[in-house]
Amino acid sequence: MPFWLTALVTCVLDQASKELIQRLMWEGQSVPVIPHIFHLTYIRNPGAAFGLFAHRTGFFIVVTLLVVAGALVAALRLSPGRHMLRLSLGLVMGGALGNLIDRVRFGLVVDFLDFRVWPVFNLADTAIVIGAFLLVFAVWREDRERERQRVGPDAEN
């Protein structure tokens, strides 16, 4: 359940936030929330991070479908009790679906979170990055625990 719920909530929050930005702002508008630090800046990004590979919508749709399929297969194969892995995969899947919906609807992605030192991004991007970090951390932690059990509880670190 954490996987499905996380993916659903992530996707819904992403799409709702983008809808709100599109209704309340015009493209290119930037509203300071914390001046010089954090702004809401409405842009339409036809590429990936940093605007790379602009206007390759078909490519991004295929890649996103592969990511979603991979997250789904991995989540379904997880043994019980691996909550952090499920959470991380749910974040990745929900974020990927949020951006996929934009690409299918508009041929691009709506971005609006602007910290002025990084390209403008959205909640889906945030979920994907947090999910990927949690995934790496969870795998690292499980590997470390398996190694501890293999060596024995009395072994020195």
Q: Which residues are catalytic?
A: 111, 125
Convert 45-84 into a string of H (helix), E (strand) and C (coil).
ECCCHHHCCCCCHHHHHHHHHHHHHHHHHHHHHCCCCCHH
Token output for 76: 């379904």
Smallest CA-to-CA distance from 54 within 8, 119, 118 is with 119
Kindly state the greatest CA–CA separation across the chain. Answer: 63
What is the full DSSP assignment across 13-44? Answer: HHHHHHHHHHHHS-TT-EEEEETTTEEEEEEE
